Every structure is written in structure tokens, then in C-alpha cells.
């Protein structure tokens, strides 16, 4: 009898276990068993059985063991092969999100929306999803940001599974090309690159390194340098202080055994003349996050020189969050933490290389990373940065929100912390560029120029197409606010090895997407801040950052931001007016467009597309010389139209110059 009971018990148990995999004739696939790294996410990495931040999945106060934690915008496309039965899940905003999280979930079958959650907020109970999949070939799961940006949009697909009878459902991804280099090698003979204009305040230290490629040793000369400046003829570093305001036209020569190059550049001395072209440099955040250290910063500065980036105009070495000690000194002075030993020595070293140094803090009590911020110490901190030899300050927002909440939340209150810091910086004996980082609140582009040189227009970027493209292509309506000394900042470049912490990974952007990223940022006259680790750059990454003709578009003296003139059928055309009467034009194959069903690349193919721009679209006539900027080759002269094939998520970047 006992044996029989045991047998029955065992048999029952087996049935229960196998029913988790096969229900009658069906198999069951839990979505969390898929390779969730393939989910396209515009922030962080989607996780199996955990929230996007790695916590227990929890929606509406209830926790779940199974599911996927993701972040809007999030896209997953599956082949269900017309042999699936149904899709089941619960959806909601993860409880770890802030109160402003709001998202929408969609399920699409063969391009048709079959489930839409409507707007969901934090605290809402999970909604049940049941979708019949009979006859369905492709299933798409989508989370959108609910029209208020994707800040904090932590989204969960809970207990999500597909029942199917034939082939196991699989993820559809678009194939990516291998890295391919278009930038030609720089010649051994000298070439002078970088911005043709630079500015500084009267009587404040001036530092400018002539950016020149070509074999060393090289001899530099500068004619008509303003009084107070001197040039190191071996390094090309110009230093000193100029007392008299004015525009100085300086003739620069670089010479080596292979030849000679010349260029005239303008040194502008006057009040408010900083960042006359978009700042170019590196920032520690996208690679090291809070694990930044003095050694890593020093290694980055060394790499900017040894990789040759400095010869293309790259200048700033910016330390982001994570350098601050947990307490101020007795007199209130901000201190460095154990990962740093001496800021002044570090900046002296960076300056000796011909580079400049930046730092980060927040107007709140704490920074975004939880370190000490500048609240009630603004003047003192600016004094300290001056003493440390800092050239650039990124001023965040984060915990300042707590102070802001106590106010009437007027326009003035948004500006207040930046006015305070800008005044504190203006009292210093050195120039310090002021970079606002409050993610675009209160239309910062309309007033940021009164308090600083650049302002972030969006939340944080991450290394996915969903993030980069959404941020970059959304800048079209801010073009009018960019001008010399005032720049829209769509956040740092996510190419090379990134990681936001101690362990790095190669960017998740495909090579074509990386061309789009750099081309778009160049057209946008965006600050170019390398987010990857400069000490481990491969040839491809380096080729993206050292194309002088592409950089010249970004650094153009006119300081115009490109306008989007065409957005249609997954194609976009952007045009930037240049100082010499030419135009830079980006022809982008963005693939998907904004309509919910067109957000997916349903056939999973990296289809090239043909894009055309006519002189009529550009409101011009006559003959133009067309040059491909990435390959640095003249294509042809045309007087009506230019047409080209563009890779999926890729770009063709040209310059057209009128032929007189």
C-alpha cells in the first residue's frame, strides 16, 4: 500500500513538473529564458527575473519571481512561426521607479496592435495580458515612454510566456555589419586641424594647443600673437595672459621634414568669449561611472595624447561624479576622496600636456551619485576649483530638486542655482566653462546661455540605438538656440568601451549606428565628449574620432546647428550652414519611424535605402561640388539633385560647396 501511494505521488509530481514545459500538446516558453540582452532598451540592460536595476521584480506592491525587467523605450520582436497558441503576461511599472514614471505597454501581432495598456504609473496594479497567437507569424512587445520622456520608466513583463506547438519562438535581431573604416589615414606632412577660433577673458590664463597631424618632430610658428602669449615651438602649445580685449588674427605654421601647413586662426579676448565652438574632449562618466580615479583620469589624458586625438582638436579631460570626499574640511572646503591624491598636481599634469581639465558637482546637498554637492558652498567651491586649476564645470541638478520643491517653482527658481554658480565662476581668476546639466527642464535652451556655455537638453544617453537616436534626432526643435558660446548638449558619445562602472563593454551600437552618432553630433554642433575609455580604443573607434573633415563641421566658426528638412518613411535629412557658404548634409536611414507598428524592423533585414536631396529642397540653385566627408573624397558636381544608398541605421554625410 505504501509503495502504491509513493508511486502515485511520484507520478503526480512528474505530471506537475512536465506541465511547466508542456501543457497537453503545447510547449511553454518563459520569456525570461530568452537572451534578454537582445531586447532593445533605451536605458540600462534588460534583466531576466530582476528589475532593470537588479532588484526583485515588483509591481503595485507585489513581488514576482519570473519575468523581465526593462526600461522604456523597450522593444522585443519574436518569430512565433504561425505555430504559437497564446502570449500571457502581467505588465506594470516596477516599484523601484520614481513617482514620475509613466509608461505604455503594447503587444503587436504582424504589425497590428492587439494589446495596449494605456498609460500606467508607479503603484498601479499589474495588468493582465492575454493574446491569441493562432496564425501569427511575428510578435512584438513594446514599452513606450508615455509622452513625458523616458526618465525613470522602469517597466516589467511579469510571468510572461508563450505557448506554442511547433518551432520554438526566437528573437529577431537585425544583422550588423563588421566595423569598417572610411576615414583616410592622415599623411606624414603637417595638417592643421581643429577650431579656427578660440576665446578667453582678458588677464586670465590662456591655453591653446595647435592641433596638427603629421610626423614629429614638428616646428610651430605663430605670427601676430597678441601681447602676453607665447608659443612653445616644439609642442605647439600657446600659453600666457592677454590684457587687451580684441580679435587677433594669428598666422600659424606647422612644419616638418615632409612639408609645411599654414592657417589663420582668430584669438578672441573679451568677456563671455568661452566655448566659441563646441567643447571637445572626454568625460569619465560613460566609462567609469562612480569608479573614476586619479589614475584612470591620468591614463585618459595620456591616451588622448598618445592616440593622437589631441592632434585633431580634442582638449578637455573631464572628471564626472565620484571624486568627492564624504565630508568637507573644518573650514567647509570640499575634499577629494581616497581615489584621488592631488587635484592641483593632476591639473598641472594635464595642462603640461596641452589639455584642459573639467570637474563635476551639483547645486543640491548631494550629487546624482550621492556624493557631496555644492549647496550653500557655491562660492567656496568655485574658489577651490580655481585653486585646483579647473577649466570646465559640469553642474548637475539631482538633489537640488528638494530645494526647488520648497519654492514657487517659477522660471527664476529653475535658473537660480545656475545663476549662483555662474556668478561664483565669474569671480575667479581663471576661465571656467559652465556646463548645465538639468536634462532640459523649463526649456533650458531658451535661457541657458545667460548662465553658461552649454546645457544638457535630455536625460542620460546609453549605448543603444533606442537611446542615441531618440535623443539625437529629437534635437531638431532647438536649432535656433545654438550659437558661438551657447550649445545644446545631447549628452556624451557612447562609442568605444563604455560601462558606467568598473567593468566596461564594447558599445552596443552597430558600426553604422556609430557613424550616425558621430555625424549627427557633428551636424548638431553638439559638444563632443568622448564617453568611452580612451586607453583601449581600437582602430575603428579612433577612425570615428579623427576625421578632420567631420570634426570641422562640428567646429565650424558660424556655430549653426543643423536643421532637419526632411523626415519621411524612416529617412531624415539634416542640413548645417557653414561659414564658407557651403552646407553639410546628413542623409540618415533611421529605418523605423514613430508610428507604433513602424517602430519595429519586422523583416529583421538591414535594408539599404536610397535617399535623395534636391537643390529645390535646399532652396538653392546653381552648381555645387559634392564631397563625401567620411571618405574625404569629391564625388561629383551637380546642379539639381544628389542621391545615394544609405545603410540601415547609417548615414551618408556630405558637404556641398557652391562653384562660382
Interface residues toward ligand GAL, by CB under 6 A: 285, 320-321, 360, 367-369, 396, 398, 437, 460
Find the catalytic residue in 95, 320, 396, 463.
396
Classify burial at 127, counting beta carbons within 10 Å of its beta carbon; exposed 0-12, middle 13-18, buried 19 or more: middle
Decide whether 460 or 513 has the Cβ nearer to ligand GAL: 460
Decide whether 385 or 648 has the Cβ nearer to ligand GAL: 385
Cell of 134: 493562432
563 with 574: CB under 8 angstroms?
yes
Residue 396 bears catalytic tag: yes
Q: Closest separation between CB of residue 509 and ligand GAL, Å?
A: 18
Q: Which residues contact 466 (CB under 8 A, 6 or more apart)?
A: 40, 41, 42, 73, 74, 75
Decide whether 458 or 543 has the Cβ nearer to ligand GAL: 458
Secondary structure element (H or E) that encloses residue 300, with its range: helix 294-306
Q: Closest separation between CB of residue 445 and ligand GAL, Å?
A: 16
Q: Closest separation between CB of residue 396 and ligand GAL, Å?
A: 5
Decide whether 194 or 369 has the Cβ nearer to ligand GAL: 369
Decide whether 92 or 373 has the Cβ nearer to ligand GAL: 373
**Residues comprising the chain, all counted:** 660
Q: Closest separation between CB of residue 88 and ligand GAL, Å?
A: 37
Q: Closest separation between CB of residue 286 and ligand GAL, Å?
A: 8
Cell of 55: 532588484
Q: Closest separation between CB of residue 134 and ligand GAL, Å?
A: 46
Secondary structure element (H or E) that encloses residue 247, with its range: strand 246-256
Q: Closest separation between CB of residue 119 and ligand GAL, Å?
A: 25
Find the catalytic residue in 94, 156, 460, 491.
460
Name the residue number minimizing CB distance to ligand GAL. 368
Cell of 328: 568637507
129 with 139: CB under 8 angstroms?
no
Beta bridge partners of residue 393, listed in sequence order: 359, 434
401 with 363: CB under 8 angstroms?
no
CA angle 639, 645, 646 (to 5 degrees): 115
Classify burial at 475, counting beta carbons within 10 Å of its beta carbon; exposed 0-12, middle 13-18, buried 19 or more: buried
Decide whether 104 or 460 has the Cβ nearer to ligand GAL: 460
Cell of 195: 577650431
Distance from the Cα of residue 388 to its chain's centroid = 28
In angstroms, the first-to-last Cα distance of the chain is 104
Q: Closest separation between CB of residue 142 and ligand GAL, Å?
A: 26
Q: 519611424: which residue's cell?
A: 593
Decide whether 220 or 455 has the Cβ nearer to ligand GAL: 455
Decide whether 199 or 278 has the Cβ nearer to ligand GAL: 278
166 with 81: CB under 8 angstroms?
yes
Give the separation between CA 94 and CA 106, rounded to whole angstroms: 16
59 with 95: CB under 8 angstroms?
yes
- CA torsion angle 243 247 251 252 (round to 10): 70
Give the separation between CA 125 and CA 59, rounded to whole angstroms: 6
Catalytic residues, by residue number, are 396, 460
Amino acid at each position: 500500500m505504501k509503495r502504491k501511494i509513493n508511486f502515485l505521488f511520484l507520478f503526480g509530481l512528474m505530471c506537475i513538473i512536465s506541465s511547466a514545459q508542456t501543457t497537453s500538446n503545447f510547449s511553454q516558453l518563459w520569456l525570461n529564458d530568452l537572451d534578454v540582452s537582445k531586447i532593445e532598451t533605451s536605458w540600462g540592460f534588460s534583466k531576466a527575473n530582476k528589475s532593470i536595476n537588479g532588484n526583485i521584480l515588483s509591481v503595485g506592491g507585489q513581488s514576482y519571481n519570473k519575468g523581465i525587467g526593462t526600461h522604456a523605450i523597450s522593444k522585443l520582436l519574436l518569430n512565433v512561426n504561425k505555430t504559437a497558441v497564446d502570449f500571457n503576461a502581467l505588465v506594470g511599472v516596477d516599484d523601484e521607479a520614481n513617482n514620475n514614471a509613466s509608461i505604455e505597454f503594447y503587444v503587436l501581432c504582424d504589425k497590428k496592435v492587439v494589446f495596449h495598456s494605456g498609460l500606467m504609473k508607479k503603484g498601479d496594479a499589474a495588468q493582465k495580458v492575454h493574446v491569441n497567437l493562432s496564425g501569427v507569424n511575428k510578435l512584438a512587445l513594446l514599452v513606450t515612454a508615455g509622452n513625458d520622456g523616458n526618465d525613470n520608466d522602469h517597466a516589467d513583463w511579469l510571468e510572461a510566456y508563450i505557448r506554442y506547438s511547433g518551432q520554438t519562438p526566437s528573437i529577431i535581431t537585425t544583422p550588423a555589419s563588421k566595423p569598417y573604416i572610411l576615414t583616410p589615414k592622415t599623411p606624414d606632412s603637417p595638417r592643421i586641424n581643429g577650431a579656427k577660433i578660440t576665446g578667453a577673458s582678458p588677464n586670465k590664463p590662456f591655453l591653446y594647443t595647435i592641433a596638427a597631424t603629421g610626423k614629429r618632430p614638428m616646428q610651430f610658428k605663430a605670427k601676430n600673437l597678441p601681447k602676453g602669449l607665447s608659443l612653445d615651438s616644439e609642442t605647439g602649445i600657446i600659453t600666457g595672459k592677454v590684457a587687451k580685449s580684441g580679435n587677433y588674427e594669428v598666422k600659424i605654421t606647422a612644419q616638418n621634414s615632409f612639408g609645411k601647413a599654414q592657417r589663420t586662426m582668430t584669438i578672441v579676448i573679451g568677456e563671455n568669449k568661452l566655448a566659441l565652438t563646441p567643447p571637445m574632449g572626454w568625460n569619465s562618466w560613460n566609462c567609469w561611472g562612480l569608479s573614476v580615479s586619479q589614475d584612470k583620469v591620468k591614463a585618459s589624458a595620456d591616451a588622448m595624447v598618445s592616440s593622437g586625438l589631441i592632434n585633431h582638436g580634442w582638449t578637455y579631460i573631464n572628471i564626472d561624479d565620484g571624486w568627492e570626499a564624504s565630508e568637507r574640511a573644518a573650514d567647509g572646503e570640499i575634499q577629494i576622496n581616497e581615489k584621488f591624491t592631488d587635484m592641483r598636481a593632476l591639473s598641472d599634469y594635464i595642462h603640461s600636456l596641452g589639455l584642459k581639465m573639467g570637474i563635476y558637482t551639483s547645486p543640491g546637498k548631494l550629487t546624482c551619485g550621492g556624493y557631496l554637492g555644492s549647496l550653500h558652498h557655491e562660492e567656496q567651491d568655485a574658489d577651490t576649483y580655481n585653486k585646483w586649476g579647473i577649466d570646465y564645470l559640469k553642474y548637475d541638478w539631482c538633489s537640488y530638486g528638494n530645494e526647488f520643491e520648497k519654492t514657487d517653482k517659477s522660471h527664476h527658481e529653475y535658473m537660480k542655482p545656475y545663476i549662483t554658480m555662474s556668478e561664483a565662476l565669474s569671480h575667479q581668476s581663471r576661465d571656467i566653462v559652465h556646463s548645465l546639466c538639468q536634462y532640459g527642464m523649463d526649456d533650458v535652451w531658451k535661457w541657458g546661455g545667460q548662465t553658461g556655455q552649454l546645457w544638457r537638453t535630455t536625460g542620460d544617453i546609453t549605448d543603444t540605438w533606442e537611446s542615441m537616436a531618440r535623443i539625437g534626432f529629437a534635437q531638431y526643435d532647438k536649432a535656433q538656440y545654438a550659437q558661438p558660446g551657447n550649445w545644446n548638449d545631447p549628452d556624451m558619445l557612447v562609442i568605444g568601451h563604455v560601462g558606467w562602472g568598473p567593468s566596461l563593454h564594447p558599445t552596443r551600437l552597430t558600426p553604422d549606428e556609430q557613424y550616425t552618432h558621430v555625424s549627427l553630433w557633428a551636424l548638431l554642433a553638439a559638444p563632443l565628449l568622448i564617453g568611452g575609455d580612451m586607453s583601449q580604443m581600437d582602430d575603428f573607434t579612433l577612425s570615428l574620432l579623427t576625421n578632420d573633415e567631420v570634426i570641422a563641421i562640428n567646429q565650424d566658426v558660424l556655430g549653426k546647428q543643423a536643421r532637419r528638412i526632411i523626415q519621411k518613411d524612416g529617412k531624415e535629412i539634416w542640413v548645417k550652414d557653414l561659414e564658407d557658404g557651403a552646407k553639410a548634409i546628413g542623409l540618415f536611414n533611421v529605418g523605423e519611424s514613430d508610428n507604433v507598428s513602424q517602430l519595429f524592423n519586422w523583416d529583421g533585414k538591414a535594408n539599404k535605402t536610397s535617399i535623395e536631396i534636391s537643390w529645390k529642397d535646399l532652396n538653392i540653385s546653381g552648381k555645387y561640388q559634392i564631397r563625401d566627408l567620411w571618405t574625404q573624397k569629391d564625388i561629383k558636381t551637380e546642379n539639381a539633385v544628389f542621391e545615394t544608398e544609405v545603410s540601415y541605421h547609417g548615414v551618408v554625410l556630405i558637404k556641398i560647396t557652391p562653384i562660382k
